């Protein structure tokens, strides 16, 4: 992760506001990460919910309410966020997303997998 500018902080607050207004989302965090795509700093949204990733229309909600430059590169869906000893979200412990073409990711080992889009299936 990198140091966040005031512009990035404002953008992150806008993204979090849209995400937390979605049904089933209990918490959201947005980080500017430089360890996802080589040579780039990208926005990654983390969402805490008990719903399956495919049950959420997060990308659609973000596209409808935010300008293109504020859209996160990836959305990581988790049941809960890791916490520090003080009970705050441990941002350093949030997983680095493994990007897939859909952009919606789940942390490794979570058992949440999204089927490939129909256009990628053979048949």
Among the listed residues 38, 41, 54, the one whose alpha carbon sits nearest the alpha carbon of residue 11: 41
pLDDT tens across 46-75, in order? Answer: 999 988 776 678 989 999 999 998 899 999
**What top-level class would CATH report for the domain 6-107?**
alpha beta
**CB contact at 8 A, 117 and 103:** no
pLDDT in tens, 82-102: 999 999 999 999 999 987 654
Taking the domains of the chain in order of start, what are their residue ranges? Answer: 6-107
Q: Are 99 and 107 in contact (CB under 8 A)?
A: no
Would the pTM of this model clear 0.85, i.e. be above it? no
């Amino acid at each position: 992760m990198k140091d966040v500018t005031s512009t990035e902080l404002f953008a992150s607050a806008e993204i979090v506001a849209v995400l937390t207004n979605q049904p089933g989302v209990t918490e959201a965090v947005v980080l500017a990460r430089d360890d996802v795509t080589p040579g780039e700093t990208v926005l990654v949204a983390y969402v805490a919910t008990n719903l399956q990733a495919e049950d959420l229309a997060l990308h659609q909600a973000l596209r409808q309410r935010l300008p293109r430059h504020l859209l996160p590169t990836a959305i990581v869906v988790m049941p809960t966020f890791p916490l520090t000893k003080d009970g705050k979200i441990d941002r350093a412990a949030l997983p680095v997303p493994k990007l897939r073409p859909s952009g919606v990711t789940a942390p490794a080992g979570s058992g949440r997998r999204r089927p490939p889009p129909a256009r990628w299936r053979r048949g």
